[in-house]
Amino acid sequence: MTAIPFVRDLDVVHGRCDQVSPLVRRVVADNPSLFTYLGTGTYLVGRGDVVVIDAGPALGAHVEAVLAALEPGEHITDLVVTHTHTDHSPATAMLQERTGAPSWGFGPHGLVAPDDPTDRVEFGDPEADGEPKPERAAGAEAPEELREGADLHFSPDHVLRHGDVLEGPGWTLEAVHTPGHTSNHLCLALREERALFTGDHVMGWSTSVIGPPDGDLGQYLASLRLLLDRDDAVYWPTHGPPITDPRPFVRAFLDHRAERERQVLDGLAAGPATLVELVPTIYADVAKGLWRPAAASTFANLLKLVAEGVVVCDDDRPRRRSRYRLA
């Protein structure tokens, strides 16, 4: 497999404000988990009039820490959301109550999969096989309501589309629509520092989970290729440390996804198979506690291949428990 140059070293004290660049401060929420790594990083951009990117989860202590990060005389003028997952957007409403600042985003959450107990995939009890549970795999336990899921309550006061610009004294943010992880995912480019706030689109510590139906692998790959045409000098993900050499990192992500697709096709070349049969082979070198999120990305790959006519499904529509075969 392609060696992705992961960067995972980050000095984190939850609630502490760190000045990470001349225009950017970061406060990390106390919500570490499988999906959030060491926690959600909320960014404060500018001086005086400050814009907040990804207010974070609904944690009162985190909201207080963000407000405490303001210098005397400063105030929050705008609240921008990269996407509507529960570790990114819920605290926006809490900060609005305290500041009156308007919210900005691409839109409300997109498609949500209906709860269908007949279409769930299970890989047994990870702990029975000596493996950690998924939320412990990242070294921490997160309450159920703080794990990554759809935030169906958020709807922005103002819509940001691709290329739209939000400005304040000394800072300029350009919206870059990067669907894939979610349909409403945005990156934000800080022109003054050639910096890109990448949300969950590109993270240094891990690849992103693409969870259908709102997550779409084809869109995600196109959004990665979009970044290759940009000249950003640094990425600031919402989780984990900055990425200071972006282009090789993005190319490695694209190569990695192509290799995963080849693994899916190789698995089906051996005969028709289900997700439960494919994942243990494709992710044999990954802890079993991570196979469920891996199954989401594998399902996204199967949906892409079905849409391209390369793979067919035995059911009338692709489901997680369906059996797939090469066309």
The β-bridge partners of 167 are: 172
The tokens describing 48, both together, are: 């005086």
Q: Look at residues 147, 163, 149, 66 and name the one whose alpha carbon lies nearest to residue 115.
A: 149
User: Helix/strand/coil (H, E, C) string of 235-260?
Assistant: EEECCCCCECCHHHHHHHHHHHHHHH
Domain count, the chain: 1
* Token pair 């067919």: residue: 312
Is residue 289 in some structural domain?
A: no
* In the chain, % of residues over pLDDT 90: 83
CATH of the domain at 246: 3.60.15.10
Q: Report pLDDT digits (tens) over 41-55.
A: 999 999 999 999 999
As a whole number of angstroms, the distance between CA 275 and CA 279 comes to 6
Q: Are 109 and 214 in contact (CB under 8 A)?
A: yes
Average pLDDT over residues 215-227: 98
* pTM listed for this prediction: 0.92
Alpha carbon separation from 104 to 78, 160, 175, 196, 252 (Å, rounded): 7, 6, 10, 17, 31
Q: Report pLDDT digits (tens) over 1-42.
A: 788 999 999 999 999 999 999 999 999 999 999 889 999 999
Is residue 280 in some structural domain?
A: no
Is residue 299 in some structural domain?
A: no
Residue bearing the bigger pLDDT, 118 or 15: 15
Q: Note down the domain range covering 138.
A: 17-254
Alpha carbon separation from 67 to 38, 62, 75, 255 (Å, rounded): 21, 9, 9, 41
Is residue 159 in some structural domain?
A: yes
As a whole number of angstroms, the distance between CA 90 and CA 81 comes to 10
Is residue 305 in some structural domain?
A: no
pLDDT at residue 142 above 60?
A: no
pLDDT at residue 148 above 70?
A: no
